[in-house]
């Protein structure tokens, strides 16, 4: 477990919000932090670093909330995902579980993400651009923050157009907080790769996956790394995760290749379970969808 860092000069919260948002109607709270806890990072987030409106009722926006790390959900080459509880002490109505995806710092991360995904994107800060090109320590930190912001913005965009993605709660530096997909006891939803081999169920799940790919395609986008391992199945509903590499199929020279790769990955998995699917037919349909709408660059 990676412990949170709280304020160095206090272990007691200076405030507890009684209002709907972070800085209104404050009253004092007496809360001792323990290892694995921190004060909520919500008040420090700017409006553009918070999820789209209207927010779901379960989002805890009180400045008096405490974030408690409950364990790790997933490890990866660029980031790890932790289970987080954000709750207002003494108020059971203000408690929610979140998935905290943290991109690794310079000393623990490699440049695994291929530049093929970032073609067509731009870095406004010239110093950052030079650091990225040189792969310096600063460049690695910039890269981590760029991936977290790219994922957050992709989640916001996909949420806005109705794609089945976790609600993005906020982004802070190299950490993205998003809706936890799973049960209230903290059991994560299984990946598509883990579902049982039932023909009726598989047919329905494939239809859902194909539809979410159409939603992406209508925006001129491809997931870019779609597989049974970043598709979750919760209460019969498919939810797509891991979006930092989302690509514009028009602006990115490799966009159509990545879209085709997604189609092959998905269809091969279902075909191995004896479902009658055709990757080339799906790809042709998605290409038609992609060039029927104006594309969006993350």
Enzyme catalytic residues: 225, 242
Cβ contact 67:39 at 8 Å:
yes
Find residue 182's DSSP bridge partners: 188
- Looking up tokens 């391992």 gives 229
Q: 3-class SS at 12?
A: strand
How far is 140 from 142, CA to CA, in rounded Å?
A: 5
Among 163, 177, 259, 273, residue whose Cα is nearest residue 212: 163
Q: Does 267 sit behind a cis peptide bond, omega within 30 degrees of 0 on the bond before it?
A: no
Q: Two tokens at 220?
A: 């001129």
Among 37, 27, 46, residue whose Cα is nearest residue 5: 37
Find residue 153's DSSP bridge partners: none
């Amino acid at each position: 477990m990676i412990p949170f860092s709280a304020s160095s000069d206090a272990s007691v919260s200076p405030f507890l919000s009684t209002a709907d948002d972070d800085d209104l109607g404050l009253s004092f709270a007496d809360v001792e932090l323990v290892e694995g806890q921190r004060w909520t990072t919500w008040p420090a987030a700017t409006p553009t670093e918070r999820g789209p409106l209207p927010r779901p009722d379960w989002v805890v926006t009180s400045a008096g909330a405490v974030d408690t790390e409950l364990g790790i959900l997933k490890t990866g080459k660029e980031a790890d995902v932790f289970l987080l509880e954000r709750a207002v002490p003494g108020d059971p109505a203000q408690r929610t579980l979140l998935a905290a995806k943290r991109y690794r710092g310079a000393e623990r991360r490699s440049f695994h993400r291929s530049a093929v995904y970032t073609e067509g994107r731009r870095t406004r800060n010239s110093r950052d651009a030079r650091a990225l090109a040189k792969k310096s320590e600063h460049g690695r930190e910039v890269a981590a923050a760029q991936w977290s912001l790219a994922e957050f913005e992709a989640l916001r965009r996909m949420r806005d157009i109705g794609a089945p993605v976790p609600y993005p709660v906020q982004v802070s530096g190299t950490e993205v907080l998003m809706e936890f997909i799973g049960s209230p006891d903290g059991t994560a939803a299984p990946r598509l790769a883990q579902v049982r081999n039932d023909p009726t169920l598989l047919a329905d799940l494939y239809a859902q996956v194909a539809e979410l790919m159409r939603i992406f395609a209508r925006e001129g986008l491809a997931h870019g790394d779609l597989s049974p391992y970043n598709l979750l199945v919760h209460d019969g509903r498919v939810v797509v995760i891991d979006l930092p590499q989302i690509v514009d199929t028009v602006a990115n020279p490799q966009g159509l290749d990545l879209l085709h790769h997604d189609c092959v990955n998905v269809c091969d998995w279902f075909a191995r379970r004896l479902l009658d699917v055709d990757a080339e037919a799906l790809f042709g349909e998605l290409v038609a969808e992609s060039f029927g709408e104006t594309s969006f660059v993350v």
